[in-house]
Structure 1
């Protein structure tokens, strides 16, 4: 990276990241910091103190989203930067976390350099981005932008039946009710790629064009139970065996349909769930994503009919529930251009790409010009304990974030 007069303090950022990595640790260098858990509270408390030390004006909204504002010279709309601090059950140290801590480091660097920006700069930690505890994902940013109602968010429950509302209050981060976010100059989210493209192509910065559309569904297949011993194989209506055939079909259909289509079965429950009983009922999730909404929607339409036909042929019952759906997001062309310009000015190689994962920037783009900065993920992996991004890539991306903020502070977006 080209040296400039203003650079983030990487040693400080790394120390901040290491502190975060000690909260909710699990074997394999991973983190388990589910939204609104005790681990999430502990990390929030630390982050809150860091924002206070940086001199930020703090507010917490009714969804538990945390904002820290650094004042600007003028009464202008703010530039907002950040991501999320919650993780998957067996998550890594970088997903989301790096975006929040890099945003904090931008503020600290501006303070070090005694740079007074024209616009206020706001750091944000959004609640329950992952959707690992309370479904669907992006509840904090969706609530703050008016996508989800307060009643809807508060009524979400975890696997133990605890509500978002009660757990938010339990950890002490149920803030004052505020109007939906608006009048924001720009939102920038730094994030690990969570895929292999940047590493495989040896590119240092991903300039994100948008976020793929995605659909979550839940399918329930019902057959007939029975004893595992006396019932002949040719007389069984084993729900799990039928689901196994359906999964093979889904994988083959997705591969033939479009190379950019992804299909994932991430969760499954079977009953009665006993070693010597034939499974009578299986419930499983289905996640389908593609950058073109029409391709995803046509795939879903045909797939639903095909799976229904497969079940009816052998007298299985199939019910399909749509859980969540979002269309493809295309980020603001001016923001994309600025991020690319900054990276090139810092002598960093770039690659334009779409994100296959959902991000808070998805909903922020509905209310303001939005963009994302990606850095490489080693092996293209995330949502696992051994998720990794290199120090050099972290430093590069944080500096791109810093200089993009400075550039946007002095320029209008139309």
Structure 2
């Protein structure tokens, strides 16, 4: 079996479901494009000899039964949804890489000793409805009706209606995941590290923790021409000092700490009025919980200090506080061994993931690991998202070797 041609055919086929004229995909949870994609994937898996099953909410598995240890299952896959005007690799690559690798293993080695499963998770992105990880959270019985019953998309379509129109419904019974012995997720990096260091494979040893804030600073709106500088309580000036000081501090601490001020909304947001209020976001991430907590303390203290200096009131809302998640050490070692065999020691990198992935949900319940392939120019969540096909193939070859070690060896 030619891995490259097999993968490219699958990628071309599934990119059409939600594919955009200018490239990329929009395939949102429970949309017509999503429904078509999962049903065609079901047919494809059946044609390739997999036993196929949908759970209640739309997670899809394709299973090759093990001959000796059928109750020990090795799972690989990712999410099938995309962001709006996203690329053709984020999520989709992980599913099609798993399918391609398992087909090749079946062709070369026959029935595995342990069961192999391709997994297409219904949703990860949170792009249509304000709820993320619907697929993996249901996979581990973590989500329920109360979480989504009152939410709707931008067009006012209720979550429940969209789900039922696609042929699915709320989880009727809990999933049993106790037979899963390993979950391995293949993904594009969505960053520039591997490309800049000329590496073919990223072996992920952890997913960063995240803290996200909404901060409000309140001063006094006033005339831009008649209010002297010394008599102003300018909320945007306060914001600029906070952003500057925290950015400089993050640079001093160094990688892998990051901080981002992605949203800034001044009020009244007009050219000739001193801003009396500003609402802004802070997103900070680190792989080490203690380091993340220490920087979070600096965030709070910096806001307090600047607000006092500039005569501002402040409110700090920490609305996301996710702990770092470490990958399974044994599986990380297996991936390193496979990467060394396929691309060589100098061409893979042990690294953390700065983005969230389904693996962070899985890792809390089953042995989990991830691997990356490079992203050209680090671009993702964009129609320009791309990876050199040779890197995609190398990723599949590494995954194939890992799955062989896990499912075919005693």
1:186 is aligned to 182
Q: Is the 8 A contact 2:144 2:171 kept in 1?
A: no
Q: Is the 8 A contact 1:32 1:87 kept in 2?
A: yes
- For residues 95-144 of structure 1, give each alpha carbon's deviation from its aligned partner in whole angstroms, at most 9, with x where no partner exists: 22100111122333345447111222111122332233444643321332
Residue in structure 1 matching 2:43, options 29, 46, 49:
49
Residue in structure 1 matching 2:320, options 324, 330, 344:
324
**In 2, Cα distance between the equivalents of 1:163 and 1:130?**
17
1:103 matched to 2:98? The reply is yes
- For residues 325-375 of structure 1, give each alpha carbon's deviation from its aligned partner in whole angstroms, at most 9, with x where no partner exists: 222222112211211222233344322111111111111111111111211
Residue in structure 2 matching 1:288, options 271, 284, 288:
284
1:130 matched to 2:125? The reply is yes
1:40 is aligned to 34
1:362 is aligned to 360
Tell me how far 1:382 sits from its aligned partner.
Answer: 2.2
Residue in structure 2 matching 1:20, options 14, 23, 34:
14
Flag the 1:136–1:82 CA change in 2: closer, same or farther, 3 A: same
**In 2, Cα distance between the equivalents of 1:183 and 1:259?**
38
**In 2, Cα distance between the equivalents of 1:152 and 1:59?**
25
1:265 matched to 2:268? The reply is no
The range that moved more, 387-396 or 311-320, is 311-320
Q: Is the 8 A contact 1:61 1:177 kept in 2?
A: no
2:400 is aligned to 402
SS at match of 1:388: coil
Residue in structure 2 matching 1:212, options 208, 215, 224:
208
Flag the 1:148–1:392 CA change in 2: closer, same or farther, 3 A: same
Mapping of 1:25-174 within 5 angstroms? 25-26=19-20, 29-74=23-68, 75-113=70-108, 115-135=110-130, 137-152=132-147, 154=149, 158=153, 164-174=159-169
Q: Is the 8 A contact 2:238 2:310 kept in 1?
A: no
The range that moved more, 226-235 or 387-396, is 226-235
The range that moved more, 340-349 or 89-98, is 340-349
Flag the 1:323–1:335 CA change in 2: closer, same or farther, 3 A: same
Mapping of 1:193-204 within 5 angstroms? 193-204=189-200
**In 1, Cα distance between the equivalents of 2:82 and 2:166?**
17
1:314 matched to 2:307? The reply is no
Aligned length: 406
Q: Is the 8 A contact 1:61 1:174 kept in 2?
A: no
**In 2, Cα distance between the equivalents of 1:27 and 1:239?**
43
The range that moved more, 118-127 or 274-283, is 274-283
> Alpha carbon RMSD of aligned pairs, Å?
3.0
1:9 matched to 2:3? The reply is yes
Flag the 1:222–1:50 CA change in 2: closer, same or farther, 3 A: farther
- For residues 296-329 of structure 1, give each alpha carbon's deviation from its aligned partner in whole angstroms, at most 9, with x where no partner exists: 1111122023213323443433322222222222
Flag the 1:147–1:232 CA change in 2: closer, same or farther, 3 A: farther
Tell me how far 1:268 sits from its aligned partner.
Answer: 4.4
- For residues 172-193 of structure 1, give each alpha carbon's deviation from its aligned partner in whole angstroms, at most 9, with x where no partner exists: 3436434243320110101112
Q: Unaligned regions of 5+ residues in structure 2, if any?
A: none
**In 2, Cα distance between the equivalents of 1:238 and 1:37?**
45
Q: Is the 8 A contact 1:60 1:174 kept in 2?
A: no
**In 2, Cα distance between the equivalents of 1:169 and 1:237?**
52
Mapping of 1:377-396 within 5 angstroms? 377-396=375-394
- For residues 276-314 of structure 1, give each alpha carbon's deviation from its aligned partner in whole angstroms, at most 9, with x where no partner exists: 776554433322111111011111122023213323443
**In 1, Cα distance between the equivalents of 2:227 and 2:40?**
58
* Length-normalised TM-score, structure 2: 0.86
**In 2, Cα distance between the equivalents of 1:278 and 1:352?**
49
1:373 is aligned to 371
Q: Unaligned regions of 5+ residues in structure 1, if any?
A: 1-6
Flag the 1:219–1:42 CA change in 2: closer, same or farther, 3 A: farther
SS at match of 1:31: coil
Flag the 1:247–1:111 CA change in 2: closer, same or farther, 3 A: same
- For residues 383-411 of structure 1, give each alpha carbon's deviation from its aligned partner in whole angstroms, at most 9, with x where no partner exists: 23322211111111112112211210134
**In 1, Cα distance between the equivalents of 2:185 and 2:306?**
43
